A = this chain, B = another copy of it.
């Protein structure tokens, strides 16, 4: 059997709109039979943080950062027109109106379709995020070398 073609996406941004683009591409790729990996780094880690509970990180500065930058798929904002929540709330309504999944649903769907959700260890280190800060759908924590190794075997690599 021929090997599957690979699609590798770095998800650097933590905004609702960019997360949406990333999951649209990832699930479309999976439905086309591609082997898809999403590599979450920096603000992108917010997308795959648990929605409930608080993160226990060490040191006052990391505690502050994780308080401000709480994350979780339900807390993502639009990169434009957030307008104290009004714009983001409107966008979620528009998505529902055309039966588009929420980011929360997209994560579960992507996972069930075999998309690998991967967190960047280095970013976790900077931000003081322990492994249990992430949802159960997250497959593993790996470094940049793993990503590049996969990317160079991929037909398509994108940085979002």
Contacts and interface: CB of A to CB of B under 8 A. Distances in A.
Interface of A: 5, 7, 10, 12, 14, 17-18, 20-21, 24-25, 28-29, 31-32, 34, 41-43, 59, 61-62, 64-65, 68-69, 79-81, 90-91, 93-95, 97-98, 100, 122, 125-128, 143-145, 147-149, 151-152, 154-160
Kindly report how many copies of this chain are found in the complex they form together: 3
Contact of A21 (B42, B80, B128, B149): B42
Given A25-B148, A68-B81, A43 B61 contact: no
Nearest to A79: B43
Given A90-B61, A159-B158, A95 B126 contact: yes
Nearest to A28: B144
Contacts of A69: 80-81
Contacts of A127: 94
Contacts of A143: 28
